[in-house]
Amino acid sequence: MSALAETLRAGTQALGLELSEAQHQQLLDYLELLQKWNRVYNLTAVRDPQEMLTHHLLDSLAAVPPLRRHLQTHLTATEEGDAPRLLDVGSGGGLPGVMFAICCPDIEVHCVDTVAKKAAFLQQAAAALRLPRLRGIHARVETLTGPYAVVSCRAFASLAEFTAWSRAALAPQGVWLAMKGKRPQEEIDALPAAVEVFHVEHLTVPGLEAERCIVWMRPA
């Protein structure tokens, strides 16, 4: 097993993430695609593959167990049998959207970004990784109407901007999942009364000392 595959496996184990062989391989294939396209498209400032693995993949994978718990307790397919839909806002190279698409194959994952080449990369990744429920959308999030049961973001904007810009895309019972560093108290205090923070969930990322959390929100 390569050093990258070993780090990945140790990381997903530490996160308590049950993944199949095929899913581990998809994660490694995504890492390779990200490195390849990064040379031309400048998708991320991180260049070293081990660093990409811990700072981007494992960092984003840390949000998967909380997302899976949420999906299990709150979401079922629609009456028409359609899969629940998640929108990842300002997804860039696909973080955390692609991690969600790989680890939660029962949901539809749409990754939106204003930069055309990033959305094109995501379409390419969906095909190469055989993820039929993953889509890259080239648009400003403000123009999307959804409805999405979960709207996520990582390294995007303030909580107030994120929730305001994606409000029209959120389903009536939908929730926002914002990945942040340490608890962003000032951003929480700046939220309008129409947005309720119902949980701030601490995350531990294998191989990273930094503080991480998810701010879970819903319309008040």
Ligand X SMILES: C[S@@+](CC[C@H](N)C(=O)[O-])C[C@H]1O[C@@H](n2cnc3c(N)ncnc32)[C@H](O)[C@@H]1O
141 binds ligand X (CB under 6 A): yes
Residue 189 and residue 215 in contact, taking contact as beta carbons nearer than 8 Å: no
**Residue 129 CB coordination number (10 Å):** 19
Residue 27 and residue 73 in contact, taking contact as beta carbons nearer than 8 Å: no
118 vs 180 by CB, closer to ligand X: 118
| Subset of 143-162 contacting ligand X (CB under 6 A) | 154-156
Instruction: Give the shortest CB-34-to-ligand X separation in angstroms.
Output: 10
163 binds ligand X (CB under 6 A): no
Q: Out of 36, 47, 130, 140, point to the residue binding ligand X (CB under 6 A).
A: 140
Residue 110 and residue 91 in contact, taking contact as beta carbons nearer than 8 Å: no
Q: How is residue 82 annotated by DSSP?
A: P
**Residues present in the chain in total:** 220
154 vs 212 by CB, closer to ligand X: 154
Distance (Å, rounded) from C-alpha 212 to C-alpha 196?
Answer: 20
| Subset of 188-217 contacting ligand X (CB under 6 A) | none
Distance (Å, rounded) from C-alpha 125 to C-alpha 167?
Answer: 27
Instruction: Give the shortest CB-169-to-ligand X separation in angstroms.
Output: 11
115 vs 197 by CB, closer to ligand X: 115
Residue 86: enclosing H or E segment and its boundaries? Answer: strand 85-89
95 binds ligand X (CB under 6 A): yes
Interface segment toward ligand X; rule CB under 6 A; list 21-29, 62-70, 119-127, 134-142: 134-142
Which residues of the chain form contacts with ligand X (CB under 6 A)?
A: 89-92, 95, 112-115, 118, 140-142, 154-156, 165
